[in-house]
Amino acid sequence: MYSPPDSVVVDRIQRAFPSDELRERARATNLVERERKFDIVALFYTLTFGFAAGSDRSLQAFLERYVEMADCDELTYASFHDWFEPGFVALLREILDDAIENLDTGRADLNGRLERFRDVLIADATIVSLYQDAADVYAATGDDQAELKLHLTESLSTGLPTRFRTTDGTTHDRSQLPTGEWVADALILLDLGFYDFWLFDRIDQNGGWFVSRVKENANFEIVEELRTWRGNSIPLEGESLQDVLDDLQRQEIDVRITLSFERKRGSGASATRTFRLVGLRNAETGEYHLYLTNLSREEYRAPDIAQLYRARWEVELLFKELKSRFGLDEINTTDAYIIEALIIMAAISLLMSRVIVDELRMLEANRREEDAADADSSASRLSRRRCSLAVERHAHLIQLYLMIELGYELPDLDELLLWVSQKPNPHRERLREQVQSGEFAFDRH
């Protein structure tokens, strides 16, 4: 029997997601006892690489890939569909949370103006549109819609999520961002979905730093000017922001303001804190981009604050990658458990891709170090994006190598193709049955 050559990529995958550990986790679900054909290792890698292997991410396509790996062509679509139940979704969530916390995917040191921070963490959320029939579970802000909201915090040093949660589309972003010691020595970048004075206070009290955009109608009391201007500039100390904002012509605003908030949620007791407000004037519109922060002027001037906030674009790129390459915009089902499972698997697929990319870059750097004497030989010159595209295009081959390494038998090709060719589209069959046996109703009004 043919054995493929040893692969550092396959070895790295097995170390990242050990088969024994996957099976041990699966034993806690009743699927292992109830379903003889259920193989968590085969299913996990089928879903993981299925998300990266092509545009068809339907349940039928995943079933066919699973049969390839597990060689069980007696498995029906209905049985496969039933595997996606609460216990299995909980298992996937456990695997994802553990991977987010423990996977080493190659951390990039923060340099320059960012090196003083332990990390830069970017909080944001995005909407995933679903079929309208899923609205009972995934309510939307508009009528006749269904939406899932993905809440994510990204680490700038790794480019990966540190938190990953899903809710319906009506859930407020702020409710999904906890506070605590995890913010210590980190810079948190926040958009208006997290505009909350109590949150700013909690970040500051826990030893973290923040930069947040400011709402257009915000009206703070200015208690100190941190930069003075020559000439007949408008004095700001003691003024309310909105009273003077339209009259200002200066390039920068850099002041200290006070804000009030509830000391404890629902207590009614208020607290007052002083933070820094900076603004940069847009030369074309004459309007200011305003930011709140607890960073000091001595270390970060107003343009520095705006530059730090630009790093928020990284989380938009991550959402784009999840949607365009890992199928978040291709959830073609109304089953809540399948929706949740596919969303989680997209995130796991992203982590798996980054693990492989990191291994490829280390492999390339090690080979250059052996072949060259230049001082820069230890740093990889491979683009992460090109590596990621290579992994996506060859995901099915990676799964095949992994399958053989794990001891799975190659399926009978003729029988597999015949089985796939004979299987009708289950959705089409159910639709035909409904048309044949159902009643036609017409609304005449």
Confidence tier at 390 by pLDDT (50, 70, 90): confident
What tokens appear for 391 in the block?
Answer: 């992994």
**Predicted local confidence at residue 30, as pLDDT:** 78
**Predicted local confidence at residue 434, as pLDDT:** 55
**Predicted local confidence at residue 426, as pLDDT:** 56
**Predicted local confidence at residue 327, as pLDDT:** 78
**Residue 445 confidence (pLDDT) above 50:** no
**Predicted local confidence at residue 228, as pLDDT:** 77
User: What's the whole-number average pLDDT of the chain?
Assistant: 86
**Predicted local confidence at residue 436, as pLDDT:** 61
**Predicted local confidence at residue 284, as pLDDT:** 87
**Residue 268 confidence (pLDDT) above 80:** no
Q: Beta-strand (E) ranges in 134-214?
A: 146-155, 160-168, 186-190, 209-213
Q: Could you report the per-residue pLDDT of 201-253, keeping only the tens digit for each?
A: 999 999 999 999 999 999 999 999 998 777 677 888 999 999 999 888 889 99
Q: Report, as an integer, the average pLDDT of 71-85.
A: 88
Range from 66-75, 188-197, 389-398 that averages highest in pLDDT = 188-197
What tokens appear for 85 in the block?
Answer: 């139940």
**Predicted local confidence at residue 289, as pLDDT:** 94
**Residue 1 confidence (pLDDT) above 70:** no
Confidence tier at 373 by pLDDT (50, 70, 90): low
**Predicted local confidence at residue 212, as pLDDT:** 97
Q: What is the DSSP string of 272-312?
A: EEEEEEEEEE-TTT--EEEEEE---TTT--HHHHHHHHGGG
**Predicted local confidence at residue 235, as pLDDT:** 85
Q: Could you give phi then psi for residue 373, rounded to 5 degrees?
A: -110, 5
Which has the higher per-residue pLDDT, 112 or 200? 200
Q: Could you report the per-residue pLDDT of 413-424, keeping only the tens digit for each?
A: 888 888 888 765
Q: Which CA distances in Å does 67 have to 112, 325, 328?
A: 51, 24, 24
**Spatial contact of 350 and 155, defined as CB atoms under 8 Å apart:** no
Residue 127, Ramachandran bin (φ over 0: left; ψ between -120 and 50: alpha; else beta)? beta
Which has the higher per-residue pLDDT, 365 or 312? 312
- What is residue 139's three-state secondary structure? coil
**Predicted local confidence at residue 430, as pLDDT:** 53
Closest to 398 measured CA to CA, from 1, 3, 13: 13
Which has the higher per-residue pLDDT, 164 or 105? 164
**Length of the chain, please?**
445
Q: Which residues pair with 222 in a beta bridge?
A: 257
User: Hey, CA dihedral for 288, 315, 320, 150, is it positive or negative?
Assistant: negative
CA dihedral (25, 26, 30, 33) in degrees, to 10, reads: -130
Least confident of 151-155, 204-208, 260-264: 260-264
Q: Report, as an integer, the average pLDDT of 62-90.
A: 89
Range from 74-88, 411-425, 426-440 that averages highest in pLDDT = 74-88
Measure the CA–CA gap between 371 and 224, rounded to whole angstroms: 60
**Predicted local confidence at residue 149, as pLDDT:** 95
Q: What is the DSSP string of 107-137?
A: PPPP-GGGTTSSEEEEEEEEEEEE-GGGTTT
**Spatial contact of 241 and 217, defined as CB atoms under 8 Å apart:** no
Q: Could you report the per-residue pLDDT of 156-182, keeping only the tens digit for each?
A: 988 889 999 999 999 999 999 988 899
**Predicted local confidence at residue 169, as pLDDT:** 94
What tokens appear for 148 in the block?
Answer: 């899932």
Which has the higher per-residue pLDDT, 43 or 427? 43
**Residue 442 confidence (pLDDT) above 90:** no
**Predicted local confidence at residue 90, as pLDDT:** 93
Side-by-side strand order, sheet with 119-130: 160-168, 146-155, 119-130, 186-190, 209-213, 288-293, 270-281, 252-262, 221-225
- Please enumerate in sequence order all residues whose Cβ is within 8 A of that of 220, keeping only pairs 6 or more positions apart, or say none: 240, 241, 257, 258, 259, 277
Q: What is the DSSP string of 367-416?
A: HHHHH---TTTTS--S-HHHHHHHHHHTHHHHHHHHHHHTTPPPP-HHHH
Which has the higher per-residue pLDDT, 192 or 412? 192
Q: Are strands 146-155 and 119-130 parallel, antiparallel or unpaired?
A: antiparallel
Q: Could you report the per-residue pLDDT of 322-370, keeping only the tens digit for each?
A: 888 887 887 888 899 999 999 999 999 999 998 898 888 888 888 887 7
**Predicted local confidence at residue 152, as pLDDT:** 94
